[in-house]
Structure 1
Amino acid sequence: MKKLLITVGLLASISLNAQWTDSGVNLTTTDIVGIGTVSPSARLDILNGDLELMQSGGTLNNSRGIIKFGENDIRLFAIQYDGTQSSPGNKLLFRGSTGSDDSYNLNFMSFSQTGYVGIGNIEPREKLELSGNFRFGNSSHQYIHFAEVDGGDGFGILFDGSGSGNDNMFHITGGAGNVSSQNKHLTIRRNTGFVGLGTISPNERLEVNGNALIQGSLESKKVKVTATPGSVPDYVFDKDYRLKSLSEVEEFIKANSHLPNIPNSKEIETNGQDVGYLQLKLLEKIEELTLYMIEQNKEMVELKRTVKSQAEKIKILESRSSN
């Protein structure tokens, strides 16, 4: 009797003018219903109150603890409570159905009691776990920001769609402030796949603006080293270039155990080898060696001429002495 009185009192508080039909199983009305308000603006309008869905037991049931959405008696979406796990493993599910049989076989999103969010799965193991593909919208600048604190310094992944045609950029950023204003450490060009480190406009498969350290082997079919103007040792052939004499070179080698203008072994072992610089210095030595060979060739030609002249004189003297 007490339960009946509470029900009657509730109906009276809901609406005095609503027309209700009691089938013995369902209590229905086609009127707009207000709870706590006499001027409801929706089919069910609750003012300054709560709507509570509870179920006895943790069984996942498509008939209890669920809010369903659809059209023409076809239920397509649902918000559902899953109490099948022991606390704090219970979840709130956003689900969908490919049919009209209340199966809700599609798991769109889940929220666990631990604060984990799952997209495409109902068992998230991280703050956000995604099962499936992910796509940004149509903005020309889209990014993901990673930081220890909200709005703090950190790293970012930025898509820059402001380029002409297909020449858009993908950046890995780092530093202070918004991702779009951070330093762009790595860049990938969309139309070519070119990768830049320290540059936002790479023109090769890999372009590095700065130093690179490789702890291992580097194999290449071709290595191109650019030179600053004036560093190529063609200056060796200038008329005012002072070429050391071979005796001076000999004295330098005896005193230092390496060629002039060439780093010694300790320098290379300590600081490494600058390939471009050393190649130019070796070219300098080759050009100096060429000058030495040209000079020696001149001396040899002169010696041959002298020897030939002396041989002819000796032949004449021998001819005279025989007569």
Structure 2
Amino acid sequence: MKSNLLVFLTLFTTFTVSISSAQCNNPVIFPASNNIGTGGIVCLDGSIVNSVPYPKICFENIRGNMKMVYKDTDTLFTFTKEGRLGIGNLTPSELLDVNGNAIIRGNTNINGNANISSNTNISGNANINGDTNINGNVTINNHFLKFAPANNTDAIIQRTTSGNMVVNSGGGTSSLYLNYASAYNAGTGGVNIFDGGTTNFAKLWITKGGTQNGIEAIGGNLVISPSGGRVIISDLSNTSLTIPTANYKLIVQSGILTEKVKVAVQNDLTNWSDYVFAEDYNLMSLYDVEKYIKKNQHLPNIPSAKELVKEGLDLGEMQAKQMEKIEELTLYMIEMKKEIDSLKKENSELRKKMTNSKR
């Protein structure tokens, strides 16, 4: 309201310099009106509102609706009894209603609603405490678009209708920064991505490093923590992708192409197969292995095809089990080599005896 009054007084002082002293000395009869009377419009130069010469300032009093209008060949501004200032608009619906381009070169405080129907250039700071409807482009030359919601509530940028929300950093090598720099009062809660609800989301944040433990020990890493516990990369139209019941953290449809995969081994005693070479390891006899294969159609301690289809293939676990079989085969081969060497020695001794007996 104070801002509107200051604008009005500035415009009024500027515009009235064009009125001659003779016009000011002539009495002007202002048409009486109430809520049922017709009233009328009177201009300070004594002419009717739509007649030349222009520009002119006129007062309108129709059915109790008081209004001051500044006209050139068209209405330039209107000031109503409710304290609404319309620029390029005869019937302002808010305290400030601008119908046309607006250039604001200094600081601006708007404590009520503002309707701006065309392009707006703001070279200074702008504080808007009410709703703002802007139908044209907005250019802000002082680098900041700041939201100061009351009572620490959410600050929201939202489309009023369905459609894409596009944030464009511009052409060339320009970038888009999210939650950037403590110098701009950036928060520490990362970025939360929702889709129309308040429960299901994906949280993205960058590790800080320093004295923290675990994933926070090294700074600069991107952490993805979805509320559902899993990151799924898939075509949204795909209906054939089966999500396993086990709590796998990353699920990728159609495979992954990479030059290198490294699987962490958590415990050398239980997660790798060196236990096969322990003295107390119970190595199955080959006869028992044969019986097991005939009965189960797969190797001992190796999951069946049905289990793999249901639970998926754990690369680290399967590599350890395959290594277990390789080490068991090595033990079988060592045992067989000993038996072969023993048979060779026995065969050699028999040949010597036979040769000696023939002599």
Q: TM-score, with normalisation over the residues of structure 2?
A: 0.47
Correspondence for 1:235: 275
1:308 and 1:295, CA in 2 relative to 1: closer, same or farther beyond 3 A?
same
How is 1:51-70 mapped onto 2 (pairs within 5 angstroms)? 51=67, 63-67=73-77
Correspondence for 1:224: 262
For residues 91-142 of structure 1, what are the alpha-carbon distances to aligned partners after superposition, in whole Å with 9 as ceiling and x for unaligned?
95351369xxxxxxx7129xxxxx9743418xxxxxxxx9xxx965499x99
Correspondence for 1:260: 300
Does the Cα contact within 8 Å between 1:174 and 1:185 map onto a contact in 2? yes
Does the Cα contact within 8 Å between 2:147 and 2:155 map onto a contact in 1? no
Correspondence for 2:331: 291
1:65 and 1:240, CA in 2 relative to 1: closer, same or farther beyond 3 A?
farther
Cα deviation, residue 185, structure 1: 2.0
1:247 and 1:10, CA in 2 relative to 1: closer, same or farther beyond 3 A?
same
**Does 1:244 pair with 2:284?**
yes
**Does 1:107 pair with 2:119?**
yes
Does the Cα contact within 8 Å between 2:102 and 2:120 map onto a contact in 1? yes
Separation in 1, partners of 2:77, 2:31 = 22
Q: How many percent of aligned residue pairs carry the same amino acid? A: 27
How is 1:10-89 mapped onto 2 (pairs within 5 angstroms)? 22=45, 25=53, 51=67, 63-67=73-77, 79-81=87-89
Correspondence for 1:186: 203
How is 1:137-148 mapped onto 2 (pairs within 5 angstroms)? 137=146, 144=156
Does the Cα contact within 8 Å between 1:186 and 1:195 map onto a contact in 2? no
Cα deviation, residue 63, structure 1: 4.9
1:162 and 1:135, CA in 2 relative to 1: closer, same or farther beyond 3 A?
closer
Does the Cα contact within 8 Å between 1:159 and 1:170 map onto a contact in 2? yes
For residues 126-163 of structure 1, what are the alpha-carbon distances to aligned partners after superposition, in whole Å with 9 as ceiling and x for unaligned?
xxxx9xxx965499x99647799xxxxxxxx9737559
**Secondary structure of the structure 1 residue equivalent to 2:283:** coil
Tell me how many residue pairs correspond in the alignment.
227
Separation in 2, partners of 1:170, 1:94 = 39
Cα deviation, residue 273, structure 1: 1.7
More strand by share: 1
Does the Cα contact within 8 Å between 1:161 and 1:169 map onto a contact in 2? no
Cα deviation, residue 228, structure 1: 2.7
Which of the residues 184, 191, 195 maps onto 1:171?
191
**Does 1:8 pair with 2:22?**
no
Correspondence for 1:281: 321
1:255 and 1:119, CA in 2 relative to 1: closer, same or farther beyond 3 A?
same
In structure 2, list runs of 5 or more residues that go unmatched. Answer: 1-25, 33-42, 48-52, 79-85, 92-96, 105-117, 122-131, 161-176, 209-218, 227-246
Separation in 1, partners of 2:155, 2:331 = 62
Correspondence for 1:96: 102
Correspondence for 1:301: 341
Separation in 1, partners of 2:326, 2:145 = 59
Separation in 2, partners of 1:119, 1:275 = 56
1:27 and 1:247, CA in 2 relative to 1: closer, same or farther beyond 3 A?
closer
In structure 1, list runs of 5 or more residues that go unmatched. Answer: 12-19, 30-34, 36-47, 56-61, 69-77, 84-90, 99-105, 110-114, 122-129, 149-156, 200-208
Correspondence for 1:211: 249
Separation in 1, partners of 2:319, 2:297 = 20
Separation in 1, partners of 2:159, 2:276 = 57
Does the Cα contact within 8 Å between 2:56 and 2:70 map onto a contact in 1? no
1:183 and 1:265, CA in 2 relative to 1: closer, same or farther beyond 3 A?
closer
Separation in 2, partners of 1:147, 1:261 = 57
